[in-house]
Amino acid sequence: MSQSVKSFGAFLTEASLRGNVGIPGEEGSDRESWLDIITQSGDAAAIEFANRNRQDIGEFMSGRLISRSQRLQRGHEEALSKLTVDAFTEIFGSLLEETELDFKIVGNREIAVKMEKTPTEEEKMELDPVEPLDPELVGHVHKRKILRTIQQGKGLSSKSILNLSIFKDGLTEIMGEEVASEYLSVLNKISNVAQFLDWTVPEDQKKAMWQTRSGFSGVSDIEFKSKPKKEESKEDLAKKVLDDLEDGKDLTDIPEADDVVKDFDVVLVARGVDLSVLIHESIKAVYKLITQASLEHLYGGQAEKVLGNTDTLFDELQELKFGPKMQEAFFKAVRECAPVKKRVDEMLQNDESDTAIASFQERVDYLFFNAVSQLGQEDPAEFLDLVNAILSESKKAEAECERIADDILKSLDQESEYQSWSRGETSGPASTAQPSRARAAMTQDEISDAIIDAYQRGDTAEADRLRKMLRESISANAAWPLS
């Protein structure tokens, strides 16, 4: 192991991030590449980790750590899967209420079967030889590569969620305190060693393993499930609800009021052999919602060409290597800006739980990633320039990130106001209309509820406006599977 640690710098993958103008030093400037700086610090950190954790590395390589985690969780897989769904529902809140969460702990065989759907570079070339890339698409390739690297790195930050009280308490309830404590300790060791190996294992060995689909511990995806068409039109459904309301029924007692008015369900799928891997893959699935949506503005065969240059199994090798540091630098830009830090300090002073604080930070991260991903839809230079500035920790990035953060906090405050109102915890305005709320934050179910409210008030103009908003929302979501 020590020999590989000394030489693993030679195995740096250079195919995709090298030459990416969104990365400092790779845009043709004279400054040192951010990739080289991270490589140097990563090499030093890996050597130190190897010296201090030889026993854990040995137990991981022999399979003993994995066997212990499998033994400790045996019989609890379903409960642990449900714990993950419940925790993500609480942490991300309404950001995920338009999606179904299908998160499960499974065996290695099911992981391997799901991985078979993703081609390697060689297989993709055989099936669909890649033509020379249109120069106009190079920027879009650079953008998607960075988005995927941040997405992968965010998934690898799963330890911060795994060790929250919501999981610690859940594990204790499922397994008992002693077993839960041992299980959590084993998972943390596995996670630490796995990231060490992501950095140190030679690329050729990784490629050989990935070609045979062996050794995979998790997978994530987005699936789209068609819903059966309803015979009743929206107008008929709204009238039925209104009639029931006029008859004195409470809104919560009317089943039709909760009908989902989408053409299909978006399903986030995550599979992992243990809880740590499942959380990692679940985070990746959540962030894939954004990386997929970032392709919507491309037309014709452009999206397919961009995907062909970024979405092979081997691309993930480099994302695993540089993702943790890239996501750390990226989200630091929003977490450390003044308005967000002030909000976290207030939560700490109010002695709020670690889960509540983590939920706030995760929602800020998600919305920040989404906001930045929407930059440069026509010309990716806007996106790449900002990411370059963020990784460079420049004043330009500081000012822009603070502006984005202000918008995010306003959106979260509006969301909190709306949720409090919908639960009856706060009174709304003088009319029965909903409180002011950003259009982008409204879900399709909530727009439908607003339509019913508008019909109830006799405000047909508002109902028509909301119906237009609903059609646009459905249309925007429907574009995702076509990407």
pLDDT averaged over 10-residue windows placed end to end, the chain, 483 residues: 34 59 88 93 94 95 93 97 97 90 91 64 46 74 93 92 96 97 96 91 70 71 71 58 54 50 73 95 94 76 77 73 94 95 95 95 96 90 96 92 94 82 59 40 64 63 66 47 31
**Beta partners for residue 265, in sequence order:** 225
d(CA 440, CA 347): 26
What's the confidence (pLDDT) of residue 418? 75
Q: What is the pLDDT of residue 251?
A: 46
| Whether residue 338 is found in the same domain as residue 482 | no
CB–CB of 271/106 below 8 Å? yes
Closest-CA residue to 106 (of 274, 268, 222, 223):
274
Domain membership of residue 462 as a residue range: 232-258+427-483
166 and 252 co-located in one domain = no
* Global confidence as pTM: 0.77
| Structural domain count, the chain | 2
Nearest to 363, CA basis, from 87, 94, 159, 92: 92
Domain shared by 250 and 274, yes or no: no
Return d(Cα 407, Cα 405) in angstroms, integer: 5
- Residue 218 within a domain: yes
CA distance 461 to 453: 12
- 244 and 364 inside one domain: no
Same domain, yes or no: 59 and 10: yes
Are residues 248 and 211 part of one domain? no
**Cross-strand bridge partners of residue 104:** 271
44 contact partners, CB below 8 Å, separation of at least 6: none
Whether residues 332 and 210 fall in one domain: yes
Q: Is residue 191 part of a domain?
A: yes
Q: Is 48 inside any structural domain?
A: yes
Instruction: Fill in the amino acid letter for 139.
Output: G
From 387, 416, 445, give the residue that closes a domain. Answer: 416
**Domain final residue, candidates 392, 416, 440:** 416
CA 405, CA 367: separation in Å to the nearest integer? Answer: 9
8 A C-beta contact, residue 409 and residue 342:
no
Q: What are phi and psi of 270, to 5 degrees?
A: -140, 135
Q: Which two tokens stand for residue 206?
A: 């990784």
Residue 454 covered by a domain? yes
Q: Are 270 and 220 in contact (CB under 8 A)?
A: yes
β-strand pairing of 218-226 with 264-272: antiparallel
Domain boundary among 360, 391, 416: 416
Q: Is residue 440 domain-shared with residue 404, that is, in the same domain?
A: no
49 in any annotated domain: yes
Residue 421 lies in a domain: no
Quote the pLDDT of residue 209: 65
Res 344: pLDDT: 95
Instruction: Tell me, rounded to whole angstroms, the distance of Cα 146 from its chain centroid.
Output: 14
pLDDT for position 10: 32
Name the nearest CA neighbour of 102 among 313, 264, 272.
Answer: 272
Residue 387 and residue 441 in one domain: no
Distance CA 122, CA 224 (A): 28
In a domain? residue 383:
yes
Domain annotation covers residue 475 = yes
Check whether residue 237 and residue 311 sit in a common domain: no
Q: Specify the length of the chain in residues.
A: 483
Q: Are residues 147 and 126 in the same domain?
A: yes
| R_g of the chain, CA atoms, integer Å | 24
Are 359 and 241 in a shared domain? no
